[in-house]
Structure 1
Amino acid sequence: MPDKKKNVAPGSPAVQEARRSLARRIASMTGGAGEHVTAVPGVVLYNRDEPTPCYRASYEPSLSIFVQGRKHVILGEVEYVCDPSSFLLSSIDVPAQSQIVEASEKTPLLVMFLRFDMPMVREILAREDLPEAEVDSHRQGLAVGETTLGLLSACQRLLDLVDTPEDIPFLSPLIQREIIYRLLKTPQAGRLRAIATSGDLVQRTARAISWLRANFTKPLSVEELAVTARMGVSTLHHQFRALTSMSPLQYQKMLRLQTARERMLMDGLDATTAAYEVGYESISQFSREYSRCFGLPPIRDIRALKSSGLMTEARLG
């Protein structure tokens, strides 16, 4: 979709140069492989220099700008391809599968990640003079779009604030508002509008998801969850699966397994302790479901992750 303000097509030389410029900026700021938290609130830079096996990752309400390399993200049966022309918009907390498929020391995967300030998003959506975006019937919590010159330029200016820390408190919110505005001009705007609009069914489903994320260790009553979401059980199941490709019970299981995996990987817990900590009462059930989810029993999986250097990727998207 053309960037109407600048009247520049996504594949034009100007847009390609903007991508290269942003890639150079991210590479210079990261200096090497890893996760790099910046001084700008909500902004994290990723530099990955090798492909990875498929791993589980959670995506929170956020924007990821890809400027180099390639990554595949799978939610349910839908695969999202993130290449140097793409942005990944996550409008809701969803657990998905990720795999870096193109990355090397010479040409690493470079990503700028921006965590959304949802009150800011809602404030912008409350305006009556926003442009009408193309309608996208896509309902899942993730969406991939094509970056425009306006979006890339705003991201570049946001990163440039690192050079003038005294400007960050004043200018960062302004530039982040511009980024949200430019996203709202894309066909993927519906994902952001849905999660931020009060009273929408997606908003109610988001309330259920938030409750699950905060209480996943507790026994799950779908009836009580439906009351929390202020909708019927059947409606909750339908909306929940539309957004996450999972039932509430499957989602809870995924949260438990991912958390147990992280605790074993990062904090050195044994499988039994991790299983009880996330709410399992049966160790054999935990081991069985863990193997089905990650492909290996707990101890073998953790050893494989540590030996392959995927400790960070197992936690983050």
Structure 2
Amino acid sequence: MEHTVIPRLSIFRADRPTIRTPGIYHPIFCLVVSGRKQMFFGEETSEYGSGDCFLVTVKLPVIGTILEASHESPYLALCIDLHHTTLAEIAIKASPMSDITKGSDCGLQAGTATTEVVDAAFRLTQLIDNSEHIDVLAPLYEQELLYRLYVGSWGRSLYAASQANSRLSQVGTAIAWLHEHYATDYAANELAKVTRMSVSTMNRHFREITAMSPLEYQKRIRLQEARRLLTSQITDVSGAGYAVGYSSPSQFNREYRRLFGAPPGRDTSQMRSEMEFLA
């Protein structure tokens, strides 16, 4: 992901297909310009190609694979970080034109970009080569793009992302707590307490938004952190398992293989080879 001179706008580029790569998505909007990508989110699998877009409204662990990319025709995606203040301003202005009672609460949603969204994204990107206009025009184009999304099919999600007391915000609090305490034993009662919800209500809303239970989410964070430690050669397999909270090496190996498709040693060896090739 390469940051641009335009605030909150980044460009992701890949010149070749990749293996399954884990990552943590922050609230973001992405428009695929070329190439094709596959993403694994919870138990769901989705593919995105040119003209497709996706919206992430909470921090989510995902696994991605670039399916189609080459030097001549790379995978390219324009990504805009969601800014809470900007979303709140759009919500005030656009709510009368959007039905926020319809739509999904899911924290990752995909669709085909409308002509209006593509045009706004294109004009925003053109400012990279016209930096003297960024201060004035970039906020306007960003607001237009978010407005087009808001009055389209994603008004409910963007409205929830702009409100401090929404269910999305409460689940976001739970997610932040899990990231801070991922290496400790999962405690449903404590997590419910910090979100000010009952355990059953928290579990229901958490699954609706993340497509995972809080415990499954914590496992994803643990395993992705373990993979990072192993790929960086900071520790060995058993050390990585203990570092992220596993007391049983066999359980760590089993769950790692289930998520990444190979045992830790073989998987991270392949990951390092991939990184060396790209370098």
Q: TM-score, normalised by structure 2?
A: 0.89
Change (3 A) 1:99 1:136: farther
Q: What is the aligned counterpart of 1:242 among 196, 200, 208?
A: 208
Residue of structure 1 in register with 2:122 after alignment: 156
Distance 2:176 2:4 in 1: 26
Distance 2:62 2:276 in 1: 16
Residue of structure 1 in register with 2:163 after alignment: 197
| Aligned residue runs from structure 1 range 12-161, under 5 A | 35-127=1-93, 130-133=96-99, 136-161=102-127
CA RMSD of aligned residues (A): 2.4
Residue of structure 2 in register with 1:306 after alignment: 272
Distance 1:146 1:62 in 2: 16
1:208 aligns with 2:174: yes
Distance 1:196 1:40 in 2: 22
1:260 aligns with 2:221: no
Distance 1:266 1:114 in 2: 28
Q: TM-score, normalised by structure 1?
A: 0.79
Change (3 A) 1:207 1:147: same
Distance 2:144 2:224 in 1: 34
> Which amino acid in 2 is paired with 1:156?
F
> Which amino acid in 1 is paired with 2:3?
V
- How many aligned positions are there? 278
Q: Answer whether contact 1:70 1:101 (CA < 8 A) is retained.
A: yes
Distance 2:47 2:66 in 1: 10
Deviation at 1:103, TM superposition (A): 2.0
Deviation at 1:251, TM superposition (A): 0.5
The superposition leaves residues 106-159 of structure 1 with CA deviations (integer Å, 9 ceiling, x where unpaired) of: 222111111111222123213366421486443321111221222222212222
Change (3 A) 1:200 1:141: same
Structure 1: gaps of 5 or more residues:
1-34, 313-317
Q: What is the aligned counterpart of 1:269 among 232, 235, 251?
A: 235
Q: What is the aligned counterpart of 1:182 among 121, 135, 148?
A: 148
> Which amino acid in 2 is paired with 1:140?
C
Q: Answer whether contact 1:145 1:188 (CA < 8 A) is retained.
A: no
